[in-house]
Amino acid sequence: MKNIRIDYYTGTGGTELSARLLANKLRSSDYHVEENRIYRDKISGIQKLETDYYILFFPVHSFNAPKPIYEWVKHLEGNQCKTAVISVSGGGDVLSNSACRCKTVKFLKKSNFNVIYQQMIQMPNNWMKAPDQKRCTAILSHLPSKIDQISQAVISEKREKPTIYWIDYLISALGEAEKRGTKKFGCGIKVLHCCTGCGLCTRNCCSSNIQLEPQTSTDAHPKPKFGNRCDMCLGCIYNCPQKALTPTWGAFQIDKKGYNLGILKKDIPF
């Protein structure tokens, strides 16, 4: 095994950080690693992967993968390459998360992937109330050792399937139903006057849900316009440099202090 492909979906940056740390770790062991960030607007046709090992990263949304992950996997052809599925969650391996990879693994197998390894990575929570700096530092300090563990599992082609609790199949199904509310959340994001039209939210939206358009004839610059494909990753709201985006529905799910992974990890020697 020499060639490894890593695909990842990221909102506020935790999954991207994890994927890139793993990529760098594998490169240090002389593997050729290709990294690819998943965007909905890149999905078209069937993409046949020519790789020895495939790794898919995603953040846990409502006890499952985000919708673009399912769409992405359905448009891949795996040629029975060995595959690892890595989920990233603020809750880590809590009971309700044990089935979060099941639907994704099912789609991967249908797309001719040989899923041999599954793992969970914990990152600081960004939903409702983020932990304090001390707790965030403690969580992030464990990330390098977790990446080492996953790296060794990939290199050795370890086979591991975590235990799934029966109640979590039900929780996972309920979570998929809950995702229907994400459209309402996205369509209800309000753009404040402090918006400068920088376009950061548009460029970083993995769901391809944001366009820059003039909102009124008096606007000095285009502003974000939100469609109905929001997956509620919260990246646009937390990463906006002007704090110009605010939800009008489901605002209780946003930490009013904000969430900036760059600040949270600044003291960690990655």
Cα 92 to Cα 94: distance, rounded to the nearest angstrom: 6
Q: Are residues 138 and 209 in the same domain?
A: no
Residues 36 and 148 in one domain: yes
Query: In degrees rounded to 5, what are phi and psi of residue 97?
Result: -95, 0
Distances (CA, A) of 135 to 122, 131, 167, 220: 12, 6, 29, 42
Same domain, 56 and 158: yes
Same domain, 159 and 236: no
- Does residue 68 form part of some domain? yes
Q: What is the pLDDT of residue 172?
A: 92
Distance from C-alpha of 240 to C-alpha of 63, rounded to nearest angstrom: 26
Structure confidence at residue 177 (pLDDT):
87
Residue 26 pLDDT: 98
- Domain assignment present for residue 115? The answer is yes
Q: How far is 77 from 96, CA to CA, in rounded Å?
A: 30
- 13: in domain: yes
Mark which of 131, 154, 177 sits at the end of a domain: 177
Handedness of CA 38, 42, 44, 47 (dihedral sign): negative
Give how far the C-alpha of residue 45 lies from the chain's centroid of Cα atoms, to the nearest Å. Answer: 22
| CB neighbour list of residue 186: distance below 8 Å, 6 or more residues apart | 207, 209, 226, 227, 228, 229, 230, 231, 232
Q: Which domain holds residue 213?
A: 181-264
User: pLDDT 10s digit of each residue in the chain, 270 long?
Assistant: 789 999 999 999 999 999 999 999 999 999 999 999 999 999 989 999 999 999 999 999 999 999 999 999 999 999 999 999 999 999 888 878 999 999 999 999 999 999 999 999 999 999 888 888 899 999 999 999 999 999 999 999 999 988 898 899 899 999 998 888 898 999 999 999 999 999 999 999 999 999 998 776 666 789 999 999 999 999 999 999 999 999 999 899 999 899 999 999 988 887
- How many domains is the chain partitioned into structurally? 2
Question: 102 with 73: CB under 8 angstroms?
Answer: no
- Residues 153 and 209 both lie in one domain: no
For 238-264, the pLDDT digits (tens) are 999 999 999 999 899 999 899 999 999
The rounded distance, in Å, linking the Cα atoms of 157 and 155 is 5
- Enter the tokens of residue 48: 């046949």
Q: Which amino acid is at 33?
A: V
Q: Using one digit for the tens of pLDDT, what is the confidence trace for 190-221?
A: 999 999 999 999 999 999 999 998 776 666 78
270 C-beta neighbours (distance < 10 Å), count: 11
pLDDT at 219: 67
- Helix residue spans in the chain (DSSP H): 14-27, 67-74, 102-110, 133-141, 143-155, 166-178, 181-187, 200-204, 235-239, 261-264
Pick the closest to residue 117 from 22, 21, 12 (CA basis). Answer: 22
Residue with tokens 């039900």: 170
Whether 230 and 160 map to the same domain: the answer is no
Q: How many CB atoms lie within 10 A of CB 152?
A: 12
Tell me what pLDDT residue 269 has: 81
Is 250 in the same domain as 134? no
- 201 & 171 share domain: no
